Amino acid sequence: MHMNKRHEMHVASPETHRQSAPVDDALKRAITGYLKAAMDATGRDATNLARAIKVSPPTITRALQPSWRGGISPRTLARIAALTGLPVPRELQYNRKKSYRPTDANDSLLTEARPAALNPSNYRDLIPVRSAARGGDEQEMFMEDGPVDYVPRPYVLERVKGAYAIYMVGDSMSPRYEPGFTLYINPFKPPRPGRGVVIYKKNNAVLVKLFKTTTRTELVVEQLNPRRELRIPRSEIDHVHLIVHSDEDS
Q: 126-149: per-residue pLDDT in tens? A: 888 887 756 555 667 776 666 778
Task: Name the least confident of 74-83, 107-116, 122-131.
Answer: 107-116
The answer, yes or no, to whether residue 7 has pLDDT greater than 60, is no
CA 128, distance to chain mean position in Å, is 15
For the chain, give the mean pLDDT: 75
Q: How far is CA 154 from CA 91, 94, 185, 198, 213, in A?
A: 11, 8, 10, 18, 27
Band (pLDDT 50/70/90 cuts) for residue 154 is confident
Q: Which long-range contacts (CB under 8 A, 24 or more apart) does 47-51 make?
A: 49/80
Predicted local distance difference test score (pLDDT) of residue 136 = 58
pLDDT of residue 69: 76
Question: Would you say the CATH fold of 126-247 matches that of 25-93?
Answer: no
Respond yes or no on whether the N-terminal peptide bond of residue 102 is cis (omega within 30° of 0).
no
Least confidently predicted of 22-26, 103-107, 175-179, 218-222: 103-107
pLDDT for the residue numbered 211: 95
Residue 217: predicted pLDDT: 93
What are residue 18's DSSP bridge partners? Answer: none
Q: Which of 83-87, 111-115, 116-120, 133-137 has the lowest mean pLDDT?
A: 111-115
User: What number is the average pLDDT over the span 106-121?
Assistant: 32
Spatial CB neighbours of 171, under 8 Å, sequence gap ≥ 6: 139, 178, 179, 225
pLDDT-derived band at 46 (thresholds 50, 70, 90) equals very high
Q: Is the pLDDT of residue 4 over 50?
A: no
On whether the CB atoms of residues 127 and 148 are closer than 8 A, the answer is: no
The yes or no reply on domain 126-247 and CATH 1.20.910.10 is no
Extents of the domains making up the chain: 25-93, 126-247
d(CA 38, CA 84): 6
End-to-end C-alpha distance for the chain, whole angstroms: 25
pLDDT for the residue 108? 31
In percent, the amount of the chain with pLDDT more than 90 equals 28
What mean pLDDT comes out for the span 52-66?
88
pLDDT of residue 48: 92
Query: In the prediction, which pLDDT does 97 show?
Result: 35
Proportion of the chain above pLDDT 70, given as a percent: 72
DSSP annotation of 167: E
Residue 164 confidence (pLDDT) above 60: yes
Pick the CATH number of 25-93 from 1.10.260.40, 3.40.50.150, 3.40.50.300, 3.40.640.10: 1.10.260.40
Mean pLDDT of 185-206: 91
In a 3-state reduction of DSSP, which class is residue 199? Answer: strand
Which residues does 151 contact at the CB level (< 8 Å), separation at least 6?
A: 126, 127, 129, 165, 182, 250
The pLDDT value given to residue 223: 94
pLDDT at 67 over 90: no
